[in-house]
Amino acid sequence: MTASSELSPALPVKAPAPAPAPTPRRRQASSVRTRVAWAMVAPAGLHALFWIALPVLATFALSVTNYSVLAPLRFVGLDNYIRSFGDPIFLTSIWHTVVYTFFTVPVAMAVAVFFAVLLNQQIRARSWYRAAIFLPQVTATVAVAMVWYQIYDPYSGLANKLLSFLGITGPAWLADPSYALPSVIVMGVWQGIGIKMIIYLAALQNVPEELYEAAELDGANAWQRFRRITLPMLRPATLFVGVVSIISAFQAFDQVYVLTRGGPANATTMMTYEIYKNAFATFQMGLACAKSVVLFVFLFALTMLNRKLSGGGEDD
């Protein structure tokens, strides 16, 4: 049903007059417009075909082969999938990815809301603070990870130096399996705050001022205004930030690669790192493709969830 028929269902609809036959000039103009349209779409289309569709299809195709770069291709059916789910390290990596996501996303979101609310006030040098908090987002993860690598150095790093002022002997953050994953998570939280804060800030600026004024007149204190107005008004942004952050957390790689290389003793390995290891360290490309498909299924499910929660599928 079209929008116009919804708006005026009872009105008699007059049958449209038959369109006049297009003149040769019109036909030519239409043809030119079509060609121009194709030409304008072509770069994006070619990009989507060669850099997205083809690799995705190839990943699916290669996931049922023994492709190893070094050996001839052979169809192996679901062997790579069976091996993946029989591999305790890959299962551990799935668990680590879930744990990493579970901690980085909500914690970073909470901190981001805090900063967004704070930096939505009229305070001095507000722009500088905003820029400072957003900076980690636009800094290369590898560079950020290198800095954190130094911070976590058990003997000369900032973390243990600060703890030593309190009389505490800090642990070997990245070398002790008990602390390695939490250390990676802390870095993930820190790096993720910036983009979330910007989205929340944008959402906050759309909250009508009248709501706060009315609440103030009714005697609501700051906490009540935050709880009853700000948080509910941030709900759409929270849904968006949440799902996008979860998808991003599932793809975390650089920080693990630079900080720990999945160690010690696989204590920080994640799905993306296992895929990388299979593809480029052990040359088991078919197996890496199968694991990529598993990751793809996770991400696809999360994307569908995002669409459902944000109402993206309703106007299709």
Partner 1 sequence: MDARSRSLTRRSLLMGGAAAAGVAALSACGARLDSPSDTGGPPEGHLNLLTPIFPGADGKALFEQQLLPQFTARYPAVSVSVDYTTYNYLNQKITTGLTTGIPADVIMLGVGWVEPFASRQVLSELTVPPTALTGYAERVLAPCRWNGKLFALPVVLDTRFGIARRDILAQAGFDRPPASIDELRDYAIALTRRGSNGALTRTGLDVQSIDPRQMFETVLFAFGGDLFRAGRPAFNDPTGVAALQWVADLQLKDRVIDAGFSNPNSTTLPLADGRAAMSIGHNNAWITTSKQRPEVLGQLQPFLLNPAKPSVFSGGTLVTVSAASRHQSAAQALAAFIASPQVSLRGAAQRGNVPPLTELEDTPYVRDHPLVKFGLENLKYGRSEGGIPAWLSLREEILNTVQSVTTGRQGAQEALDQLATVADAAIADFGTS
Q: Which stretch binds partner 1 (CB under 8 A): 19-27, 62-70, 104-112, 199-207?
A: 62-70
* Residue 12 interacting with partner 1 (CB under 8 A): no
Of the pair 66, 120, the CB lying nearest partner 1 is at 66
The span from the CA of 12 to the CA of 23, in Å, is: 32
Largest Cα separation within the chain, whole Å, is 89
Please report how close the Cβ of residue 78 comes to partner 1 at its closest, in angstroms: 16
To the nearest 10°, report the CA torsion of 98, 102, 105, 109.
170
* Residue 279 interacting with partner 1 (CB under 8 A): yes
Of the pair 89, 91, the CB lying nearest partner 1 is at 89
To the nearest 10°, report the CA torsion of 292, 293, 298, 303.
100
The span from the CA of 89 to the CA of 274, in Å, is: 8
Please report how close the Cβ of residue 126 comes to partner 1 at its closest, in angstroms: 39
Of 284-303, which residues contact partner 1 (CB under 8 A)? 284-285
Of the pair 238, 268, the CB lying nearest partner 1 is at 268
Q: Which long-range contacts (CB under 8 A, 24 or more apart) does 140-149 make?
A: 141/191, 141/254, 141/255, 141/258, 142/254, 142/257, 142/258, 144/187, 144/191, 144/255, 145/187, 145/254, 145/255, 145/257, 145/258, 145/259, 146/258, 148/183, 148/187, 148/255, 148/259, 149/174, 149/258, 149/259
Of the pair 177, 236, the CB lying nearest partner 1 is at 177
CA R_g for the chain: 27
* Residue 70 interacting with partner 1 (CB under 8 A): yes
Please report how close the Cβ of residue 146 comes to partner 1 at its closest, in angstroms: 10
Q: x/- contact string, 93-132, with partner 1 (CB under 8 A)?
A: ----------------------------------------
Of the pair 40, 89, the CB lying nearest partner 1 is at 89
- Residue of the chain from 55, 208, 232, 311 that contacts partner 1 (CB under 8 A): 55
Q: Which residues on adjacent β-strands are paired with residue 75?
A: 65
Residue 75 has φ and ψ, to the nearest 5°, of: -75, 130
The span from the CA of 288 to the CA of 273, in Å, is: 10
- Residue of the chain from 98, 263, 296, 303 that contacts partner 1 (CB under 8 A): 263
* Residue 282 interacting with partner 1 (CB under 8 A): yes
* Residue 148 interacting with partner 1 (CB under 8 A): no
* Residue 173 interacting with partner 1 (CB under 8 A): yes
Q: Which stretch binds partner 1 (CB under 8 A): 55-63, 105-113, 225-233, 308-316?
A: 55-63
- Residue of the chain from 51, 95, 102, 280 that contacts partner 1 (CB under 8 A): 280
Of the pair 92, 306, the CB lying nearest partner 1 is at 92
* Residue 54 interacting with partner 1 (CB under 8 A): yes
Smallest CA-to-CA distance from 299 within 240, 243, 255, 253 is with 243
At 69, which amino acid appears? Answer: V
- CA 118-124-127 angle, 5° bins: 70
Cβ count within 10 A of residue 162: 12
Return residues touching partner 1 (CB under 8 A). Answer: 49, 53-55, 57-58, 60-62, 65-74, 89, 149, 154-155, 169, 171-177, 261-266, 277, 279-285
